[in-house]
Structure 1
Amino acid sequence: MKKPLILVTNDDSISAPGIRALIEVMNELGTVVVVAPDSPQSAMGHAITINSMLHLNKVSAEGAAITEYTCSGTPVDCVKFAVNEILKQKPDLCVSGVNHGSNSSINVIYSGTMSAAVEAGIEGIPAIGFSLLDYDWNADFETFKPYIKQIALEVLEKGLPENVVLNVNFPKKKKNELKGIKICRQAKAIWAEKFDKRKTPQGKDYYWLTGEFINLDKGQDTDEWALGQGYISIVPVQFDMTAHHAIQQLNNWNL
């Protein structure tokens, strides 16, 4: 059988340990092409570059088993480049990550990792975003490689529902502490944010965005609950943002 073509990207940059782990697993499953940012692009959401130049550089050696490119833009730019400029055919799978840090609950809105997966989904490509709840550059990705492989194989073999991508989050647990996988819904949560105001040596004000993550959801079917209990969470994410349940109510307005 012909090997599946797999596109790998992320938002932490091509040098991040998380994407190197993901590339290693995907190389066991198919032909891998990597298009990733040349510098960290965390929390870029679905941003695209339209007001400045973009640069694409091939960084893998000629004839290397895995073809790798860096892009000066956002994670979504990387997927657009891959689909429109690099690949001769649509990939069978796009995987994004493994992100250094959580993309559960409301974090999916801000995530460059998940936005890359969503962009692939918009293009009709089955896509998965992987994240580990550990911001440490040297986080333990080895523990989760079998699960990455298992989930990717399921998607390759069975596909995904139309207009749906997967948001996979791994808890910060050791192998013997993992309880398994849960299919979940996104927990209702918010960031209670504030700006830390400081001054430069010249006396000019500047700010750092800070905040506290607050889970408002006590349900036991959410990603936050699953991760807190030691499960890997999988949330099916749709990118049709229509609030279908609200259409009837708005139709009753005097418009």
Structure 2
Amino acid sequence: MSKKPLILITNDDGITAPGIRALIEVMVNLGDVFVVAPDSPQSGMGHAITLDAMLFAQNVEISKGPQKEFSCSGTPADCVKIAIRELLPRTPDLCVSGINHGSNSAINVIYSGTMSAAIEAGIEGIPAIGFSLLDYAWDANFEASKPYVKKVTENVLKSGLPKGVVLNVNIPNAKSGDIKGIKICRQAKSNWVESFDKRKNPQGKDYYWLSGKFVNLDNGEDTDEWALENHYVSVVPVQFDLTAHHFIQQLNTWNLK
């Protein structure tokens, strides 16, 4: 029986995406790799799960290597669930998600299928990391990302993560020599100023395209946005306990009984 760590790989861009291929190339040198990823792009799905449709998982070979690969008809969170319950020989020692084509820093973390997959693993008590590169192009160059993916992963395999915590790692779109290093950060306060482009289809029925502009509301130099703008890899520890603990005491003063 292999003594190597069992590593589950998933993403939200789909199993054929170049980003997940780059992630596999790093992980096969660190452990025994199982890939369970969506059969089509699932960006922006957040933590959606499939409740009202059949799920399919098919053994595939997208690229040659020691990894075992499954293409799943569901969301990124579905992929993690079915991997743990049905497809893997045992509970994985680590789940890595990505490498996402595009940023998952700041407020983007709550919409991200990449991070939701990592969070789903964290809910199951599995150390997990989401990796993203700040380049939305399908043919993005992931070479400069690989050393940082390897370094963060090796540290998690060695030291583990606290229960309820996963790592959100974003990598600037830069050549290897342009990246200054790694910064441990907090999530920047930000939002999207959104609008809908209203159009009509050939039958005269209204339809809408969502568009928007990302706005960073945070001037702090300890945030992921600052790190990325200054050519650092940002590492943010993320928790899935959404309780606003600081408000509990004040809420207890309300007349709710």
Question: Normalised by the size of structure 2, how large is the TM-score?
Answer: 0.97
Paired residue for 2:56? 55
**Matches of 2:240 and 2:97 in 1, distance apart?**
16
Deviates more, 1:137-146 or 1:100-109: 137-146
Over residues 180-210 of structure 1, what are the superposed CA-to-partner deviations in whole Å (9 max), with x where a residue is unaligned?
Answer: 0000000000000010001112211110000
Amino acid at match of 1:226: A
Aligned-partner SS, 2:237: strand
**Matches of 2:184 and 2:66 in 1, distance apart?**
34
Aligned-partner SS, 1:73: coil
**Matches of 1:234 and 1:66 in 2, distance apart?**
27
Aligned-partner SS, 2:210: strand
Paired residue for 2:110? 109
Paired residue for 2:249? 248
User: Which segments of 5 or more consecutive residues in structure 2 lack a partner in the other structure?
Assistant: none
Written as runs of structure 1 = structure 2, the 5 A alignment for 1:85-104 is: 85-104=86-105
**Matches of 1:121 and 1:202 in 2, distance apart?**
47
User: Which segments of 5 or more consecutive residues in structure 1 lack a partner in the other structure?
Assistant: none
Paired residue for 1:132? 133
Question: Normalised by the size of structure 1, how large is the TM-score?
Answer: 0.98
Paired residue for 2:8? 7
**Matches of 2:41 and 2:142 in 1, distance apart?**
19
**Matches of 1:175 and 1:51 in 2, distance apart?**
45
**Matches of 1:65 and 1:169 in 2, distance apart?**
27
Runs of 4 or more off by more than 4 Å in structure 1? Answer: none
Give the number of aligned pairs: 254
Residue 231 (structure 1) shift: 0.3
Written as runs of structure 1 = structure 2, the 5 A alignment for 1:103-252 is: 103-252=104-253
Residue 174 (structure 1) shift: 1.2
Name the % identity: 70
Residue 98 (structure 1) shift: 0.2
**Matches of 1:144 and 1:101 in 2, distance apart?**
13
**Matches of 2:179 and 2:114 in 1, distance apart?**
23
CA RMSD of aligned residues (A): 1.2
**Matches of 2:67 and 2:90 in 1, distance apart?**
16
Amino acid at match of 1:21: A
